[in-house]
Amino acid sequence: MNMSVYYFSGTGNCLCVAKSIAESTNGRLISIPQVIDQYSIKPDAEVVGIVFPAYLAPLSGIPLIVQRFVRKLENIESMHLFAVCTCGGYEIVNALPTLKNLSRLIRLNGGKLSAEYSVRLPMNNLDYDHIPVPINTDQETVIRNCDKKLEGICERILNKKADKHRLLKTLFNCLMTPMYRMMKKSCIRALRQYAKEAENCTLEFNQLIPLTDRSIRVDDQCNGCATCTLVCPVRNIEMVDEKPVWKHHCEMCFACDEWCPQGAIHHWSRADGVKYHHPSVKLKDMFVRANN
């Protein structure tokens, strides 16, 4: 089976999931940031996988770069498409609606998402306090459970099987929709604050996210090494007078914060001192452009 597995990752979770799938299915592993600047994307494969994290599920859940990737896919109607969404909270709350939105986006672009899967990995800002129902936060256990679940997912991918429990997932999505509508206003209000826009501005989710880098700060520990410019998946950072400057097309992936060797970069969605990347991933693995 000829397969390509595309992924987007800021702190390594999706890279590890995509790599595991590619190795188990003899697929080709491709970083979405490596191809996103192309006018159109034409996978040379009959089966195409998309591995990505859920961001802000009440609003969309799909990272902006993944949305652009899907819109650039050519011959999408003839592909067997599957997706694997990673999340740090409960999959049914975060990944399920995100995959529903991805399925809708693919359908609008003339394709069909044949299978939808999700796995849970440690949250990359380690902010579990907002989850009302107790959840396992032991990183080794969460990663081990993910690896075990991936074995079954890879088997289903190889057999081109649809994901399980579709009817139940559809019913749960219907139940969740009103709750997400209620949460949307508060999420948008917070994004306006971090984007440093007026409260009465009319910018929506896709317009506000790129501007939230206005609330990323760099402290005096910065030594001008420029590592942040190498790990940023969308070239959103440039060095000015040996200090990073953000250019307002942020993906909110935390890569600059996580991989800064000096710990000098502070993302607004992470408490000071909080660090997490998948333990199997090294800094050099995140130089996605250099590995093109």
Arithmetic mean of pLDDT, 202-218 = 95
Greatest Cα pair distance, the chain, in angstroms, is: 56
Query: From the CB of residue 183, how many other CB atoms can be counted at a distance below 10 Å?
Result: 14
For the stretch 170-197, pLDDT in tens is: 676 677 777 777 778 888 999 999 999 9
Res 83 pLDDT > 50? yes
201-286 has which fold? Alpha-Beta Plaits (3.30.70)
Q: Which of 269, 270, 259 is nearest to 237 (CA)?
A: 259
Binning pLDDT at 50, 70 and 90, where does residue 162 land?
A: confident
Mean pLDDT over the full length of the chain: 91
- Give 100-140 pLDDT, tens digit per residue: 999 999 999 999 999 999 999 999 999 998 888 899 999 99
Say how far apart CA 262 and CA 267 lie, in whole Å: 14
Using DSSP's 3-state secondary structure scheme, residue 29 falls into strand
Predicted local confidence at residue 180, as pLDDT: 72
- Mark residue 57 as left, alpha or beta (left: phi above 0; alpha: psi -120 to 50; beta: remaining): alpha
> Which CATH entry fits the domain spanning 3-172: 3.40.50.1460, 3.40.640.10, 3.40.50.360, 3.30.70.100?
3.40.50.360
Secondary structure class of 117 (helix, strand, coil): strand
Contact call for residues 50 and 61 (beta carbons, < 8 A): no
The structure's pTM equals: 0.93
Q: What is the pLDDT of residue 290?
A: 41
Sheet holding 80-87, edge to edge: 28-31, 3-7, 47-53, 80-87, 113-120
Instruction: Give the containing element (helix H, strand E) for 237.
Output: strand 237-240
Q: How far apart are CA 239 and CA 256, in angstroms?
A: 13
d(CA 8, CA 279): 17
| Range with the largest mean pLDDT of 76-80, 89-93, 145-149, 166-170 | 145-149
The burial class, CB within 10 Å (0-12 / 13-18 / 19+), for 273 is: exposed
Domain residue spans of the chain: 3-172, 201-286
Distance CA 154, CA 158 (A): 6
Report whether 6 contacts 72 (CB < 8 A).
Answer: no
Residue with tokens 């710990």: 263
pLDDT at 164: 59
